[in-house]
Chains A and B, each alone.
Chain A
Amino acid sequence: MARNPFRSEAEAYRFLLLTVGYFALIVAAAAIATWLGLAVFVVLTALALALWLRSRSNEPALRPAVPPRPGAEDERRILVIANETVGGPELLSILRQKAEGVKEHVLVVCPALNSAVRHWASDEDGARAAAQERLETSLGRLRGYGVDVSGEVGDGDPLQAMEDALRTFGADEIVISTHPVGRSNWLERNVVGAARERFDIPITHVVVDLDAAP
């Protein structure tokens, strides 16, 4: 996320001083020769862009606030992030395994995946409806296996969806379900690696091959 230079008065004041310096150098160079002014404009603009991009990459990943754990002490709370693979047999199998012998509570979060254009146009109804449909199918199956499960539709960004859910759910571990390598957009974006870097709780990655399912 780009940092807003008008977030506070102090930052706005600093931005103003930088703007004055930026234009002063351009005007001074242009007074010598027009082409020099143009060159200074290009160099300063490129420099500003490079510094901005560098400051973005150096920003530490936000750590979610850890809420008080809402469940009982002996309860195992599992957060599942899955989208198209939410009803996959591999995921259901893992959840059944994890639920054996313990008092578990599973929260399934289905990110409402959307196109960038629709996201920026706030056209999320279709994506949320589709995610809700997949979620309900999956919840029905898990309940059929006797798993104590609830679910919700989350943010389109899986990392954000996890962070949102962790703020209220207080999970002991996260299970991320994806398509196999080569077909998974989340793996392409290293969602699993980024989640392991960001969250201080065990994360299990489950690969669901829907094409191989009978």
Chain B
Amino acid sequence: MSAHAERHGPPIANRSSRIEPTVLGMFLFIASEAMLFGAFFTAYFFIRVVNPEAQSWPLEPFHLPVFVAGVNTLVLLTSSFTMHWALQSIKRGNRAGLKAGLLLTFLMGLAFLLTQMLEYARIGFNPADGAFGTIFFGLTGLHGAHVFVGLTLLAVATVRAFRGHFTPEHHHGVEIPGIYWHFVDVMWIVVYTTIYLL
């Protein structure tokens, strides 16, 4: 072996087995997401706190379509159920269940996103209409961006499922989008409860 074959670059990073890199990666991802949403929630609660005289929330003239958003929430929650069903199906070797579950999840996710876009078009205010408008569109838009990413992952998983990929032993490509999709749902529960209900 020639001298040129020696390793160059920085030394190999020290790695303890205290925590697996994949688990650490997921922790860091969740922590960064928590901080991202946390920044928006901090701004939201700030404008609520500085308006203590408000008898109802949101302040006039803002009105939120609580019912439509509630139905949309149910659609998203149901999509989590179908996602779970899809993964349980492939674990049992049920390919039809996998395909149906993924397709339904994708369609319901798409319906959620489209409904949110319709809500934006008809809500009667825009991001430039004061602090509440900015935070409302910021928070729900941030979540919508996450739904879009989730839909992209789901689309890939769905196409792969219909092309015959995944087996009861190998279904990592469904598991990871599933985890992400549930995470997106958890965040929506927090957003919906905080902004629309409380």
Query: Which A residues form the contact surface with B (CB < 8 A)?
Result: 1, 4, 6-10, 12-13, 15-16, 19-20, 23, 26-27, 30, 37, 124, 128, 155, 157, 160, 163-164, 167
Instruction: Evaluate whether A164 and B193 lie within 8 angstroms (CB atoms) in the complex, with A6-B30, A37-B198 already known.
Output: no
Which of the residues A6, A20, A164 comes within 8 Å of B16, measured between beta carbons? A164
Given contacts A6-B26, A9-B87, contact A155 B186 (CB under 8 A): no
Contact B18 A16 (CB under 8 A): no
Taking Cβ atoms with an 8 Å cutoff, the residues of B that contact A are: 14, 16-19, 23, 26-27, 30, 77, 80, 83-84, 87, 174-175, 178-179, 182-183, 185-186, 189-190, 193, 197-198
**Which of B30, B84, B198 meets A9, CB within 8 Å?**
B84
Bound CA span A10–B83, Å: 10
- State whether B77 touches A20 (Cβ < 8 A): yes
Q: How far is the CB of B97 from chain A (nearest CB, A)?
A: 14
Q: What's the least CB distance linking B58 to chain A, in Å?
A: 16
Q: Which of B80, B189, B198 contacts A13 (CB 8 A)?
A: B80
Which chain B positions have C-beta within 8 A of A167? 17
* Neighbour of A7 across the interface among B23, B77, B186, B197, CB < 8 A: B23
Which residues on B sit within 8 Å (CB–CB) of A26?
193, 198
**A155 touching B183, Cβ below 8 Å:** no
Tell which of A1, A12, A160 touches B182, judged by Cβ atoms closer than 8 Å: A12
A160 and B17 within 8 A (CB): yes
A selection of 13 A-B contacts at a CB cut-off of 8 Å is A4-B27, A7-B26, A8-B179, A9-B83, A9-B178, A9-B182, A12-B179, A13-B178, A16-B182, A20-B189, A27-B193, A155-B18, A163-B17
Given contacts A23-B189, A160-B16, A160-B18, contact A12 B178 (CB under 8 A): yes
Q: How far is the CB of A110 from chain B (nearest CB, A)?
A: 14
Contact A19 B178 (CB under 8 A): no
Give bound CA distance, A181 to B89, whole Å: 58
> Which chain A positions have C-beta within 8 A of B19?
1
A23: which B residues are within 8 A, CB to CB? 189-190, 193
Determine the distance from Cα of A27 to Cα of B182 in the docked complex, in whole angstroms: 21
CB of B16 to closest CB in A, whole Å: 4
Could you tell me if B186 and A15 are in contact, using CB atoms closer than 8 angstroms? yes
Nearest 8 Cβ contacts at the A-B interface? A9-B178, A12-B182, A155-B16, A23-B193, A13-B84, A12-B179, A16-B182, A19-B186
CA gap between A160 and B14 in the complex, in Å: 14
| Residues of B contacting A9 in the complex (Cβ-Cβ under 8 angstroms) | 83-84, 87, 174-175, 178-179, 182
**Who on chain B is nearest to A1 by CB?**
B19
Q: How far is the CA of A124 from the CA of B198 in the complex (A)?
A: 46
Q: Are B23 and A4 in contact (CB under 8 A)?
A: yes
Q: How far is the CB of A160 from chain B (nearest CB, A)?
A: 5
| Bound CA–CA A4/B31 (angstroms) | 11
Contact A157:B18 (CB < 8 A) given known A4-B23, A6-B26, A23-B190: yes
Which of chain A's residues has its CB closest to B185's CB? A16
CA distance A27 to B196 in the complex (A): 11
B residues near A16, Cβ cutoff 8 Å: 77, 80, 182, 185-186, 189
**Bound complex: CA A183 to CA B16 (Å):** 27
